Structure 1
Amino acid sequence: MASPRSSLRSPLGAVRGLGSAKDGTHHWWLQRVSAIALVPLTIWFVASLVVLAGSPYEVFTAWVAQPLVAVLLGLFVGVGFWHLKLGAQVVIEDYIHTESTKIVVQLLVNFATVALAVAALFSILKIAI
């Protein structure tokens, strides 16, 4: 067994037990799956907005109130914010080098994405119900 001094792992990596391909691969797959899910959802959302462009408020709210539309909007918001959080996490981990700053920024990003996703989902539900 190699001594801690001869290990290529950082002290934090040794404590966490994470090394090459133990956490990054899972994160990579999650980001790809969310990106693939966003492709049809984004196409549907943009096409719907194009069709609804210039429509009065009542038409838009009636559209959102349809069960299938509300579910698809909820999926679009949920997957979109999840994908945003995953991507921001990678950027933070790669470009912020001070550990305390990295933790604070990660907490802020996590809080902001959850708060915005909850607000968007609440808005959809309020119109749909």
Structure 2
Amino acid sequence: MPDRPPTALSTAEETTMRDLLGADRELTMARITALTRDWDDMVESSSLVATDDEHDPEGSSTAFERAHVQSLLDQARTHLTDLDRALDRLHAGTYGVCEGCGHPIPLDRLKARPATTTCITCATH
């Protein structure tokens, strides 16, 4: 069995992080599903009613709601991509290594932000 690099997580830590990443991924997928359903409902309901967002007193609210849901959906999709990349790094043995300085990312930070790619020092600079 090859030696682990000094920055690698222990087997128990890898298991913990795999579980956290998996749980976060499931929640994110559920959020994407719910937001997509909300988006689809908004589009469907607006297609049933002839509205002019520019002149309709409710139009600005409708446009804001659509933009808000779209923004939340974009954020969730980005987070899902970040989680998938983190799982790839975990599989490759590079998870938990700061992409900025190459030092280990503290386990507490990984637990708080499982998809993070940087240590706190690099994240704040």
Normalising TM by the smaller chain, what interval?
0.3 to 0.5
TM-score (norm 2): 0.47
TM-score (norm 1): 0.46
